[in-house]
Chains A and B, each alone.
Chain A
Amino acid sequence: MEQEIKLLKGNEAVAEAAVRCGCDGYFGYPITPQSEILETLMELRPWETTGMVVLQAESEVAAINMIYGGASTGKRVLTSSSSPGISLMGEGLSYMAGAELPCVVVNVSRGGPGLGTIQPGQSDYFLATRAGGHGDFNMIVLAPNSVQEMYDFIFTAFDLAFRYRNPVMILSDGVIGQMMEKVTLSPALPRRTQQEIARDLRSWALTGKPAGERRNIVTSVQLDPHVQEGVNHRLQAKYKAMRENEVRCESFLCEDADYVIVAYGCSARISRKAVELAREAGLRVGLFRPITLFPFPYAELSALNARGFLSVELSAGQMVEDVRLSVGCRARVEHFGRMGGVIHSPNEVFEALTSKFTDK
């Protein structure tokens, strides 16, 4: 079969993937730099082809609660936003984790804090991996570094969301969302039919109480603390399974590396060029790219024998804490990153590497 290849923005790739992965509904609110996701979906008009619902919500708060409602009926639902909007979704994400509902949330992040800038940022790492909302919960976080991965990860994210009945976040950034690259599109998958949902998901999904059977209740409230603690133990067992089974990462020239740059998303693309510059200068430098930020590839990073690790992020240093947890005191760990929407260049990353590890 002939491959279908299109030139797309990262945001447009998300919309294409949503329609082709059998998504049932997208609910979202415009915010730069990700509004093309909603705009593209409205142009694609999937309600006329696959039957997918697309709705512009009145706020991010409404959007995530629409997602909660859609997910409660066993549907594949997607929302997207950028940093300030993701902050507003925190309560809803916590409810979804508590009620064990699957969904995919795309964060095309920008620089903060506050309204910040519409330019790219990677300062939502803590939000995504540590505190997506209140209470003890985690979600799998996928970090694409290309437009192709923006497309592919929508499929992966829905599989993971339903496997674990939990929200999955795709933590992208304004660079990946806005840049254009070739994307190989996969054949469209059909949406689940109502019969398939009733057959496969009735153990929890609301499909209308079948006559003579038990009703389903989707809730995250347990007034008895001992019952709530039991829920928490069950959730924690699920997060443990995620840690054991869902780590994804990628290495580039790390085998002989004296120094390893650790970077995800757009910083991984920039850092790969910096690694090439370093190699040209005769330095043995490699790149380690976490693809899942939760679960973080602690063991895989810890297995590297470099003398120094440089965490490169568009932030004041957030992922660097996970790099330190991986490496411990065995090697030096440093951070480099521009902030506020300024993007570091490969040369800046190379210079930061050489200046921070002067014993090269």
Chain B
Amino acid sequence: MLDVLMHFCPGCSHGTIHKLIAEVIDEMGMESNAIGITPVGCAVLAYNYIDIDWVQAAHGRACAVATAVKRLNPEKMVFTYQGDGDLAAIGAGETIHAANRGDNIVVIYVNNAVYGMTGGQMAPTTLLGMKTATTPQGRDAKLHGFPFKAGELISQLDGVCYFTRQSVHTPAAVRRAKKALRRAFDNSMEGKGLSFVEFVATCSSGWKLSPVEANRWMDENMMPFYPLSKE
């Protein structure tokens, strides 16, 4: 990690997830061998915080970018870091096909059920009834369809060797999440296929809640619909 101020809002999960990734890369001794791909969204500037080589991808296309980075540089450890708007809406196609090809990359998917950077609009993952800037009356399935379980969809594909859903809202969850990240990165270097690590995450600004309230709201509303993996 670089010693700089983060642009993330108070209570946001990104900072903790960034730190876990940096720790895992460091513990694996892969600082000089890792290439990360940032999305469009709140994590676009992840390259300002984790001290490795980075490429910033067009909105939703991180998995296509990662496919070529890895195939042309098979000795490198390659991962994408994407939000739910980036991965599950505009980038659903690229994500599904990278997963189906079994590209040896890690996809880190941060799902906070909302578009954070553009000001809290509905994402594919927005829960039914949830109020956002573009669903002021709450998400209505008749109008907007249903919340999208990208992780479950991806996990069905033959090229995926590991799917896990984690969070970082308690110390125990943070410890489990770090283990999951390590396993995913190990998989990618062992050539096992694509590893998909989903994080159920908070967006206190987008949800218009305090950090403490956001954690509680996530526990009560997000977790039942996006259940965490046991390990």
A residues contacting B by CB (< 8 A) are 24-25, 27, 53, 55, 57-59, 61-63, 65-70, 72-73, 75, 77, 91-92, 95, 99, 194, 206-211, 215-221
Contacts of B73 in A (CB 8 A): 73, 75, 194
CA distance A194 to B72 in the complex (A): 10
CB pair B65 A66 closer than 8 Å: yes
Known contacts A209-B52, A211-B31, A217-B47; decide if A55 and B71 are in contact (CB<8 Å): yes
Set B38, B53, B57, B67: member contacting A215, Cβ < 8 A: B53
CA distance A74 to B144 in the complex (A): 42
CB pair A218 B94 closer than 8 Å: no
Contacts of A220 in B (CB 8 A): 56
CA distance A209 to B55 in the complex (A): 12
Known contacts A66-B68, A215-B51; decide if A209 and B58 are in contact (CB<8 Å): no
Contacts of B53 in A (CB 8 A): 206-209, 215-217
Min distance, Cβ A103 to any Cβ of chain B, angstroms: 11
Set B33, B54, B61: member contacting A65, Cβ < 8 A: B61
Set A25, A211, A218: member contacting B55, Cβ < 8 A: A218
B65-81 vs A, CB cutoff 8 Å, 1 = contact: the mask equals 11111011100100000
CB pair A219 B47 closer than 8 Å: yes
Known contacts A206-B35, A211-B32; decide if A62 and B64 are in contact (CB<8 Å): yes
B residues contacting A by CB (< 8 A) are 31-35, 37-38, 44, 47, 51-58, 61, 64-69, 71-73, 76, 93-94, 97
> From B37, which residue of chain A is reached at the shortest CB distance?
A69
Contacts of B33 in A (CB 8 A): 208
Known contacts A25-B72, A206-B69, A208-B76; decide if A58 and B97 are in contact (CB<8 Å): yes
Min distance, Cβ B53 to any Cβ of chain A, angstroms: 4
CA distance A42 to B56 in the complex (A): 30
CB pair A53 B47 closer than 8 Å: no
CB pair B67 A217 closer than 8 Å: no
CA distance A17 to B81 in the complex (A): 36
List 18 A–B pairs whose Cβ atoms lie within 8 Å, in order of A's numbering.
Answer: A53-B71, A55-B68, A58-B94, A61-B64, A62-B64, A62-B97, A65-B57, A66-B68, A69-B37, A99-B55, A206-B53, A208-B52, A208-B53, A208-B76, A209-B32, A216-B54, A219-B47, A221-B56
CA distance A67 to B93 in the complex (A): 17
> From B66, which residue of chain A is reached at the shortest CB distance?
A69
Set A65, A72, A211: member contacting B58, Cβ < 8 A: A65
CA distance A217 to B72 in the complex (A): 18
Min distance, Cβ B147 to any Cβ of chain A, angstroms: 25
Contacts of B32 in A (CB 8 A): 208-211
CA distance A210 to B33 in the complex (A): 8
Beyond A68-B58, A209-B52, A218-B54, 19 additional contacts (C-beta under 8 Å) are: A57-B64, A58-B93, A61-B94, A62-B97, A65-B61, A67-B68, A69-B55, A69-B69, A206-B54, A206-B55, A206-B69, A208-B32, A208-B33, A208-B34, A208-B53, A211-B32, A215-B47, A217-B54, A221-B44
Contacts of A65 in B (CB 8 A): 57-58, 61, 64-65, 68, 94
Set A70, A194, A209: member contacting B68, Cβ < 8 A: A70
> From B30, which residue of chain A is reached at the shortest CB distance?
A208
Contacts of B31 in A (CB 8 A): 209, 211
CA distance A58 to B99 in the complex (A): 12
CB pair B58 A69 closer than 8 Å: no
Min distance, Cβ B131 to any Cβ of chain A, angstroms: 28
CB pair B52 A69 closer than 8 Å: no
CA distance A174 to B114 in the complex (A): 45
Contacts of B51 in A (CB 8 A): 209, 215
Min distance, Cβ B20 to any Cβ of chain A, angstroms: 19
Known contacts A25-B72, A53-B71, A62-B94; decide if A91 and B54 are in contact (CB<8 Å): no
Known contacts A206-B35, A219-B47; decide if A69 and B56 are in contact (CB<8 Å): no
CB pair A73 B72 closer than 8 Å: yes
CA distance A24 to B74 in the complex (A): 13
CB pair B35 A25 closer than 8 Å: no
- Among all A-B residue pairs, the 10 with the closest Cβ atoms: A69-B65, A69-B68, A65-B61, A66-B68, A219-B56, A65-B64, A58-B97, A70-B68, A206-B53, A62-B64
Max count, chain B CB within 10 A of own CB: residue among A59, A65, A72? A65
Contacts of A53 in B (CB 8 A): 68, 71-72
Contacts of B54 in A (CB 8 A): 206, 215-219
